[in-house]
Amino acid sequence: MGCRGSKTDCVHIDDSKIENGSVEVEHSFRHRRKVLDRETGKVFEEVIPGPVWSILKGLYATSACGVVAAHPFRCCLRRITQHAGRKMRSPSSKKDIQKFVDVYRIDLDEVLLPLEKFVSMNDFFTRELKPLARPIHSPQDAGVFVSCADCRVIIFQTLEEATRIWIKGLKFSLAELLGDAAAKPFLQKPGCCSVAVCRLAPQDYHRFHFPCGPGEVIDQNFLAGEYYSVNPLAVNNPNIDVLTENCRSVTRLQHPSFGQVAFVAVGATLVGSVELLKEVGSTFAKGDCYGYFQYGGSTCVIVTEPGAVGWDPDLLDASARGIESFVKMGEQIGLSCT
């Protein structure tokens, strides 16, 4: 889909303009994103392949040339996603696994099964890792909050801060994200809820886990929606409400140290479905696998009660500058404030 107006209406994209380390909507989208590797403390460039970048830039990068969330466009994304899901579940897609491994330099030593055991691309995409590949930080300490996935995380102590720096959709609110019923307990608490946005890139391990424990699954709701990209190019665009319009699974968890925690698994372009492995009423331990995304990159959003979590300072510092931090599942990202 091209520009809605003439070429002269398009805003020039200047790669050199980065505001506070973040991507600024309208004129500074890049085909390389800067991400902080928490383990090494160094910033690396996450390269978006050329064809993917061209599509993302055309759809989301500017208001003049970008997408307006029109009905035909939404239908197109839905069809593309459904087609990709069928294709990646087909045995014929097995031939693409090795190329995927090579392109994204996936460490096969971490993978539970040998490559020849996977029957399709989607089977490999939802792969399990060896038990010791992702150790859980302080597994018996209920006051430690850990990353739910291998992801690029950005954390804000208030929703106002999140919308000022990162989430630019004009309709973003707790009620829009979770639904009125699930949001009500959080909105009734005095103070501001915090939010962690955990973005999974295509090369990441695509299972997600409980960030705290022990606990119980209070309720689960699936909210139907669209299939916009969850790439920051889309999330940072004020014309599209990605996190509140995309299809998503919303879960409320009950935890003795953190109170209620909302866990949102957000579907996206090329993500065929979100599969949950626990039901309402189930109990869980910190680090237990909760589910997985089918083919494609996606996002988990975690909402915590006001004052429940003291997030790790290094992650808050990077987030305040609009920089995502790469963390692995099971790493500590916060502590209980109680």
Q: Would you name the residues annotated as active-site residues? A: 150, 209, 298
Helices (DSSP H) in the chain: which residue ranges? 50-60, 71-89, 97-104, 121-125, 159-165, 174-178, 180-187, 232-235, 242-245, 313-320
Which are the contacts of 195, defined by CB distance < 8 A and separation ≥ 6?
Answer: 155, 156, 159, 162, 301, 302, 303, 304
Distances (CA, A) of 122 to 82, 148, 264, 296: 13, 21, 22, 9
Residue 167 burial by Cβ neighbours in a 10 Å radius (0-12, 13-18, 19+) = buried
What three-state secondary structure class fits 122? helix
Kindly state the tokens that stand for 79.
């069809």
Task: Report whether 146 contacts 155 (CB < 8 A).
Answer: no
Main-chain dihedrals φ then ψ at residue 35, nearest 5 degrees: -130, 140
